[in-house]
Amino acid sequence: MEQNELLKTVSEKANRWLEGNYNEETKIAVRRMLENPDKAELIDSFYQDLEFGTGGLRGIMGAGSNRMNIYTVGAATQGLSNYLKSQFAHLQQISVVVGHDCRNNSKYFAATVADIFSANNIKVYLFDDLRPTPEISFAIRHLGCQSGVMITASHNPKEYNGYKAYWDDGAQFVAPHDVDVIKEVNKITNIDDIKLTGNQTIIQKIGDEIDSLYLEKVKSLSLSPEAIKRNSDLKIVYTPIHGCGRVLIPRVLNEFGFTNVSTVAEQMIQSGDFPTVISPNPEEPAALDLAIKKAQSINADIVMASDPDADRLGIAVKNEQGEWILINGNQTCMVFTYYLIKKWQELGKLTGNEYVVKTIVTTEIIKDIADKAKIELFDCYTGFKWIAAVMREMEGKKVYVGGGEESYGYLAEDFCRDKDAVSACALMAEITAWAKDNGKSWLEMLQDLYIEYGYGKEKGISVVRKGQSGAAEIKQMMADYRANPPRQIAGSDVIKIKDYQSLIQKDLKTGVDSALDMPDKSNVLQFFTADGTKISVRPSGTEPKIKFYIEVRGEMKSRADYYAAEETANAKIELVRKSLGV
């Protein structure tokens, strides 16, 4: 579309907002954009409609069809309401849970969502203040609701907000509901189709009582209470990075029995502006700077940070020289899985009918841990809704031990169906106490796992290709990898290829093709080499980039070999990069 034609189209669309039944605050913002000689904001705000995807909504806040505001949130909620009424027409009363995080406008959006649901005669359990995302999942299941909404943009920058939608099992939508809900949302094209006037008689505020029930369930996950008693004074530094974790995580650490928990005062302040960080993401090293500074001042044992909606956990620990190092998501997931399996074994809880779950881009060491313990491992697509989908499929058939992903999300319970930093923080503190009880630092515990299962190192690389030409280039890259897959990577033969778009696995040693047992197709390729290297390639679903996940394997015979193994792995990763041309 030519620039003049685009400007004409967005101006017409914006003027319809001036004529429609929108509030005066919105109209003032739209007039300002129309009158501004610089039309960049106008175009970005109206050139498309904010898309309701399989995970809900996420976007920059502001007026316009491509922004997060009460009208785009309203259309999503009206569409979801219509879908719920079609699916649960047999129920006398459909009910939902609504929660929100610390972000600017989150409470306002949550109240709007509650009004629209109730206007559609759907009972709403509305949290009275900010709460972690996993607690919303728990409440849906506990209260027997048919759906739920969490207003959050997770760890995105402060300009963003979002809308996570859940089904009756407390998990985000998967097929067929994901596509069918989107169809209903897309039917809402007129603001007058949205029922904005709430029915307060069927909106019920909830809070402390659900907190207590949820935390009781989290406390039931403890596997080493004696180790905690012996190490109750473990020095823990925790930060919620201004978010929801401040409500429950210090409390759950105390209820687990930890008496020496220090918080980062500046980041315990609830704020959607996230004033102390550039990005409120525990995957970013800078987000833990203040916590590490606090830990250095008190000689702490571990640093833990949760993201704004308290579903992701990042940690830092000390090395042999007393320096603080960040632990990545693969390492944390590996330690969680090992600990859960080890303790279930010791406590006689394993019967041969248990399973663990990871995503396909998460370290293969977890598979080695599960295999050695003779526990079934399920590999699923990236995103916690796929882990929850496995849990739903296995409910009543097999017993869930735990699951996680490389992007800092972990779940040790089945009473919740989304990643949970509340339980993860409590268990990570317990794991640290357990390691100390066994005469090990956290890092020594990790090193011992590498000695037992082999060393592994992972690196994610994103190649950005913007615009229409960039999208075409990414599409061509995937086509080229399929048509001409590499035969060698970094000097090692490719022995297996998994193509999740065709759902075919090719064994290049035997020449045998076999089917991949997955619930749906996905544009992901994986290459496995003879030396244990795994490369996963996939286009991003939300950004103009193609992602490469590289995992290389090595050997460790003693803790003293750790840094040499790391150096060798880093060199190998560079060779892999060069082989792939990224």
| DSSP structure string for 342-411 | HHHHHTT---S-EEEEEETTS-THHHHHHHHTT-EEEEE-SSHHHHHHHHHHHTTTSEEEEEEETTTEEE
Same-domain pairing of 488 and 510: yes
Establish whether 154 is a catalytic residue. Answer: yes
The C-alpha atoms of residue 84 and residue 82 are separated, in whole angstroms, by 6
Q: At 475, is the secondary structure helix, strand, or coil?
A: helix
What percent of the chain has pLDDT above 70? 99
Structure tokens at 299: 């000689």
Q: Which of 9, 26, 44 is the last residue of a domain?
A: 44
Answer whether residue 225 is part of any domain. Answer: no
State pLDDT tens for residues 61-105: 999 999 999 999 999 999 999 999 999 999 999 999 999 999 999
Task: For 505, list phi and psi in degrees, rounded to 5.
Answer: -105, 125
What CATH number corresponds to the domain at position 485?
3.30.310
Task: Write down the pLDDT at residue 542.
Answer: 62
Q: Per-residue pLDDT tens for 278-332? A: 999 999 999 999 999 999 999 999 999 999 999 999 999 999 999 999 999 999 9
- H-helix or E-strand spanning residue 118: helix 106-119
pLDDT at 245: 98
**Tens digit of pLDDT for each residue in 59-72?**
999 999 999 999 99
Which string of DSSP letters, residue by residue, matches 255-297?
HHT---EEE-GGGSS--TT-TT-SS--TTSGGGGHHHHHHHHH
Query: What is the pLDDT of the chain when averaged over all its residues?
Result: 96
Question: Into how many domains does the chain fold?
Answer: 4
Give the DSSP letter of residue 50. Answer: P
CB 556 within 8 A of CB 455: yes
Mean pLDDT within 558-569? 97
Residues 8 and 21 in one domain: yes
Pick from 102, 119, 117, 106: nearest CA to 147: 117
Report yes or no on 218 lying in a domain: no
Q: Are residues 370 and 469 in the same domain?
A: no
Note down the domain range covering 8: 1-44
Pair 349, 487 in one domain: no
pLDDT at position 55 is 78
Token pair of 98 as six digits? 């609504």
Q: H or E element: which one contains 461?
A: strand 455-464
Whether 192 and 83 map to the same domain: the answer is yes
Degrees to nearest 5, angle at CA 404 with 403 and 405? 150
Judge if 21 and 104 occupy the same domain.
no
Domain shared by 286 and 340, yes or no: yes
- Distance CA(219)–CA(146), nearest Å, equals 26
Q: Are 289 and 436 in the same domain?
A: yes
Q: For residues 345 and 494, state if they share a domain.
A: no
Catalytic one of 95, 118, 147, 154: 154
Tell which of 403, 418, 452 closes a domain. Answer: 452
| 192 to 74, 120, 228, 327: CA distances (angstroms) | 11, 14, 57, 50
Same domain, residue pair 260 and 329? yes
Q: Which residues contact 452 (CB under 8 A, 6 or more apart)?
A: none
- Look at residues 343, 352, 407, 401 and name the one whose alpha carbon lies nearest to residue 374: 352
Q: Give residue-wise pLDDT tens across range 217-271.
A: 999 999 999 999 999 999 999 999 999 999 999 999 999 999 999 999 999 999 9
| DSSP reduced 3-state for 58 | strand
Residue 221 in any domain: the answer is no
Residue range 457-504, pLDDT digits in tens: 999 999 988 877 788 889 999 999 999 999 999 999 999 999 999 999
First-to-last alpha carbon distance for the chain, in angstroms, is: 32
Label residues 242-271 b or e (16+ Cβ within 10 Å = b): bbbbbbbbbbbbeebbbeebbbbeebbebb
Q: Is residue 359 part of a domain?
A: yes
Q: What is the pLDDT of residues 370-388, one digit of tens each?
A: 999 999 999 999 989 999 9
What pLDDT score does 198 carry?
96
Q: What is the CATH number of the domain that holds 185?
A: 3.40.120.10
